Amino acid sequence: MTPSRKRILVTGADGFIGSHLTEALVRRGHDVRAFVYYNSFNSWGWLDHADQDVKDAIDVFAGDVRDAHGMRQAMDGRDVVLHLAALIAIPYSYHSPATYVETNIQGTLNVLQAAADRGGVHVVHTSTSEVYGTAQFVPITEDHPLQAQSPYSATKIAADQMALAFHRSFETPVAVLRPFNTYGPRQSARAVLPTIITQALSGQPRLRLGDLHPTRDFTFVSDTVRAFVMMAESGLGLGEVINTGSNFEISIGDAVKAIAEVTGSPLEVETDEQRRRPEKSEVERLWADNTKAREVLGWVPEYGGLDGFKRGIAETVDWFRRSGHIARYKADRYNV
């Protein structure tokens, strides 16, 4: 039990990071309301596969962040909102940018307005390293210029600025957490690491990937979750943007080599043109400066550096190898 039990709403609780976060908050004794995307199957996403004690503890609210009325209802009686619900796939944002505006910008506005209307509700808004675009200097601090290189990143920049505007305009207690390339168990194959892993474990003769030269700062999901928990429990960082990254960059090509080492099998790659971003849209380099997270929150990555990355990859591969997990993925298809 934590010293101060909080009543927390997690939006996007059915997703990759959100489900891990929901479980962690329950384990720490918080009163958690899990906001999941309404669907006719009554699916709670990854929370359907949570341990029974977690499912028994959470209050599930099925809705849509684009619905302001539902968001106000979901926020009743909450002290803290951890806002993770968003559309995040970059290729799909080329196809349907309007949906990203509706979900990422209008949805965030609905969260902020509901929090402001209730007064005193602490909001932690989720950003993304994609808002920086290709690094103009490394490691990337929170003062790095923002550069939208995809419709997705444009909507996240707008959502981040809306969150900060509510803090400045209405004194809504808002903090912005900016994770760098979170990976781990449950991540969808629209991200590069599970794309590599699922193809490798499914026995594909060659991996079909896009460009191999861009670098990323991959952060294991438990490290990202720990930062959210710290912000929720401490109330630190209000009015601030805080990067969470491993402070280590690796190219996609070298990530393939690391996964080959973990899986114990050589992996050959062929370029699949449909998986490449438009030239000016590709973010060529991301590498986080996590000094502020350490100074403000006391957060440091437990999976930092190359050794930490390989350890996180090993845990992720182990998860995919467990009975039934790989079957949920379509390794033979391109996941937009």
CATH class belonging to 7-183+220-247+287-306: alpha beta
DSSP 133: -
Strand pairing report for 122-126 and 174-179: parallel
pLDDT tens-digit map of 59-84:
999 999 999 999 999 999 999 999 99
Cα(150)–Cα(90) distance, integer angstroms = 7
Q: Pick the catalytic residue: 100, 132, 152, 329?
A: 152
Confidence class of residue 3 from pLDDT cuts 50, 70 and 90?
low
Q: What is the 3-state secondary structure (H, E, C) of 230-286?
A: HHHHHCCCCCCEEEECCCCCEEHHHHHHHHHHHHCCCCCEEECHHHCCCHHHCCCEC
In the predicted model, is pLDDT for residue 44 greater than 70? yes
In contact, 163 and 174? CB cutoff 8 Å: yes
pLDDT tens-digit map of 144-157:
999 999 999 999 99
In the predicted model, is pLDDT for residue 1 greater than 90? no
Strand pairing report for 250-251 and 215-216: antiparallel
Tally Cβ neighbours within 10 Å of residue 56. 9
9-23, 285-299, 317-331: which has the minimum mean pLDDT?
317-331
Q: In the prediction, which pLDDT does 333 show?
A: 87
Q: In the prediction, which pLDDT does 152 show?
A: 98
Q: In the prediction, which pLDDT does 334 show?
A: 86
Quote the pTM value. Answer: 0.97
The residues spanned by each domain of the chain are: 7-183+220-247+287-306
pLDDT tens-digit map of 30-40:
999 999 999 99
In the predicted model, is pLDDT for residue 165 greater than 50? yes
Residues 6+ apart with CB under 8 A from 166: 112, 115, 116, 123, 172, 174
Give me the mean pLDDT over the 15-29 stretch: 98
In the predicted model, is pLDDT for residue 180 greater than 90? yes
Cα(51)–Cα(245) distance, integer angstroms = 28
Q: What does each C-alpha distance from 34 to 21, 98, 104, 192 come to in angstroms?
A: 10, 26, 18, 27
Using N-to-C axis directions, what is the helix angle for 305-321 and 192-201, rounded to 10°? 50
> Degrees (nearest 5) of the Cα angle 288, 289, 293?
110
Cα(239)–Cα(164) distance, integer angstroms = 6
Active site residue 303: no
Cα(197)–Cα(260) distance, integer angstroms = 9
In the predicted model, is pLDDT for residue 324 greater than 90? no
Residues 6+ apart with CB under 8 A from 168: 239
pLDDT tens-digit map of 98-144:
999 999 999 999 999 999 999 999 999 999 999 999 999 999 999 99
Q: In the prediction, which pLDDT does 323 show?
A: 73
Give me the mean pLDDT over the 201-228 stretch: 94
Query: Residues of the chain with pLDDT > 70: what percent?
Result: 99
Q: What is the mean pLDDT of the chain?
A: 96
Q: In the prediction, which pLDDT does 265 show?
A: 83
Q: In the prediction, which pLDDT does 192 show?
A: 96
Cα(193)–Cα(263) distance, integer angstroms = 13
